[in-house]
Structures are given as C-alpha cells and as structure tokens.
Amino acid sequence: MGHFLHLVFVFAMFTATIKGSLFNFRYKKYMKTVYKNKSNNPFGQMIELEEKYVSQPLDHFDPLVKGSLKQRYIVINDYWKKPDGPVFLFIGGEGLLSGYYLRYGLINEIAKTHGALIVGAEHRYYGDSLNGDSMELSNLKYLSSQQALGDLAKLHQVISEDYGGGSNTTWICFGGSYAGDLSSWFRIKYPHLVHAAVASSAPVRAITNFEGYNNVVRASLSDTSIGGSQKCTGNISSGFEEVGQLLKNKSLDRLQKDFKLCSPLKSKNDYATFLSNLEDNISGAVQYNDDGTDNSVEYICKTIAEAEGSPYDKLVHLNQVFLGSLDEKCLESSYEQMLQELNKTLAQELVGIRPWTYQTCTQFGFFQTCDVNTQCPFSTYLGLGLYLDICNDVFGITADEINARVNFTNQYYGSDTPKGTRILFVNGSIDPWHSLSVLKNISDSETALYIQGSSHCADMEATSADDKPQLAQGKLEIKKQVSNWLSSSGQQRLTFK
C-alpha cells in the first residue's frame, strides 16, 4: 500500500502508500519527508481544511470494553451545496492522513464539479488517531479492518449530525491501496450508509505467500513502453544471482564492503533483510513508476545500463546511487535491529511500522517472496521464512495462525470475487498489487477499470497535461462513473467528454 510488508504496502500515499520493506531504511527516511513534500501546493491555490477529532470506542463489537480513542478527520466544505449535496469520504490507510489528495487529488476535482462535502478519515492506530498505549501488544487486538469500518460508520453519524446531511444525502467513498480495500468493504458491509465506492489499487485478496508481486515486477522492468527492457531485467537478475553465490560461499566481508552494510551478516534472516532492502530500490520504483524521477523504471534501467562492469558491479553502483540520494551512509542489514524497531511501542517512534506489521500478521499476509518457481528477478533467499519469523518473534503469532487469519479475511470479505454493487475497482498494469485485485467486471454494477501503463494509485492524482492517454482516459471514466452513481441516487448528472 501502501510495497506492503515489503510494505508497505505502504502507506497509501493518501495516507501515503509507502514503498519499501517494512524494515527498510528508505521507509523511515520516506516517512520523514513525504508529508512535508506532499503539503506543497502545486496549483497555486489554497483550500482550507478543518481538522477535527471524534471519540471512537476501542471495540465496536464488545460493549464490555470501555476504552476509547480519538480519531482524526479532515473536512473540506468549500464546494458543498448544503444541505443535500453529496459527501465524498476519503478513507485513510496505514499511515498519517495527508491533506494532499483531499486538496489536490482527483477526488477534489470531482467534488468541485458536484458540490460535494469532502471528509477524510484517518485510520485508527496511525497518524494522530491513537492513544499513548495503543502499540502495547495487549491493545493491538483492537486494530483491525473490521474496527476501522466501525469507525467509518460512527464518523458517518457524526458528519450527518454536525453538517446537517439528511436522508437525501448521497455518500460515495474513495480509497487507494489498503484504503482501497476498506472503500470496497465499507460499501459491502455498510451498504445502507454509502451509496457507492471507488477502490484504487486495492489488493482485496489476502494471501500469505505473495509470489505474484515480484512476477509483475519482472514484467514491468522488461516493459519498453516505460523505459524497461529485457537487458535491464537480465542485468538485475544476474546481479542478484552473483550476490546469492557470494552468500552461499560465505564471502560476507566482501558483501559488507561492496554494499556498505551497516552491520555484519550473521544469519539467514540477516541475508534476507539485506537483500530485501537492496531490491526495494527496484521494486519500489516499479510500484510507483514516477516518470522523470529516480523512482521510476526508466531511471533504474538507465542507471544500470550506464554503470560499468559486471551485473554485480552494476547492482553495487545502483545501491551507492540510492544511498547517496537518501543521504544514508550504509544499508540496513540486521534482522535483530529490525526487530528492535518493530518492538518499539512509543507512538512517536513508530511511523506506522509496528501497527501495519501487526495487520499483515493477523489479517492479510502480503509477504512478498522470491521462490524458485516464480519469475522473481531477485534472490531466492527472499523466502517466506523471514516474514513468518517476524510475526512470531514480534507478536507470538505462528505460521498456522497467520494462514487461518488470512483465510478468514477472504471468507469475510469475499476475496477477489466480492459480492457488492456500485463498486469500481481501478488498477494499473505496472503495479505489482494488481494481481490481488479485481481486474474484470463481476457484474453490471461491480466493475473493473484496468489501465495499461499505469502504476500504483496513479488514478488518484489530479488530471494533468502530462498524463499518458490511457491514464487520462481512466480518470475520465472514474468521473463518469461517479456522475452516473449520483444520477442513480437522484443527484445531478453531468456529462464528461
């Protein structure tokens, strides 16, 4: 989200989907800067935000639990046609809720057109929506997608009361990555509250061993339309093979020197930690493919091509480039250090790492592996064992328990064949998360929009003259669908061309 446990899935950039493995040094650096950067105003206008809090019960389903927490939410009423204009609910995911998409994303464009009230909901246990003791293991049991949906239902009531929305008010929800899951699930589980849902890059099928992620990474790295090539993929794959051979031969001092590792490699989980952080530079660029930046397939492949030497040398050079761009002196490689980070329970130290890891261990899996039977361009040292150890070492959750909870999630929500109405699933062909989403129409009212050449949640950005034709058409289709939904609810219908 929003890559995930590789994360993360990271955090819905609207909450801000985060690229990188959950223990990746880039993740920590990214979280320190993303909201500052995303707060910049790209359109020369200032849209006022109202930041508020609502008291939520710790447990929506057990009245014997008396605790509560304050959920942060944001309101924009610049365009609202009171009192019966529609309400657009922007759902936050696994991170701080940023005002960027509310102000300058596609949802803002559509809201302005239809006179909608915009409400952004931060996810419990992320950002400012948590208590001082929320991250203690005894309190993490109140962190789940089901509790998050309960929060949205309570917020719906509060907004209706505070802003005077009556029975004629139509609600449509929006979300991307994990928050895209929540958008579709809110419509499915609370259809009386929300009329329709847009779910962007939503991996609605939970899976423990997510082999498909890196299969798509390989295909995208080879895609010439976005600056990739078979030669680029071959160099990366061969480079990782050489690293794997050095690990096998115990040439650990050389690897530590060449890749500027922060600590010696002592265990197989250290190997996997090192390799995960190394490949994250590449897979993160694939996931977001931000054209014209160092976070793109074109940049990765150009850097690889221009580097001298063997594929191994090219990989060493790529790592040095990214370390320099992030002002980092070394690459994290210690499994024990990663566990120390995950075991921190002070809110200001977390930035979403501990709670999201807990959610992957207890509901979703999403563990991105590089098994021998896949097309993964990286190293087979990146196996499922690393993630199973994380869940057990940090939370005491066993492999059997993970599998059982992942299966329950799919049974509870419907996996990638959910039964709902008025839901639009939007995905991009480059995004590795699309393999867990809905890619074809399930019914006339539960539809899919698959955008060739598009990346993770790219459709949530405002329309731009720089949009490729397929993405521009995709955003237009989203606008048309929202207009049709509003028409079916008795709201104004507009024609988009």
Mark whether 434 is an active-site residue: no
- Which of 303, 296, 333, 337 lies closest to 320 in space, CA to CA? 303
Mark whether 134 is an active-site residue: no
The three-point CA angle 297-299-300 to 5° equals: 65
Q: Which of 21, 129, 145, 177 is catalytic?
A: 177
- Which of 370, 363, 360 lies closest to 391 in space, CA to CA? 360
Alpha carbons 342 and 338: distance in angstroms, whole number:
6
Both ends of the chain: CA-CA distance in Å?
31
Element housing 247 (H / E): helix 230-248
User: 446-451 and 50-57: which strand pairing?
Assistant: unpaired
Mark whether 431 is an active-site residue: yes
Q: Which of 456, 459, 467, 483 is catalytic?
A: 456
Alpha carbons 249 and 297: distance in angstroms, whole number:
31
Q: Which of 151, 270, 280, 431 is catalytic?
A: 431
> Using CB atoms within 10 A of its CB, is residue 206 exposed (0-12), middle (13-18) or buried (19+)?
buried
Alpha carbons 167 and 84: distance in angstroms, whole number:
8
- List residues bridging with 121 in a β-sheet: 73, 91
What is the dihedral angle through the alpha carbons of 170, 173, 174, 176, rounded to the nearest 10 degrees?
Answer: -170
- Alpha-carbon torsion (364, 280, 297, 476), positive or negative: positive
- Which of 460, 492, 487, 461 lies closest to 195 in space, CA to CA? 487
**Which residues are catalytically annotated?**
177, 431, 456
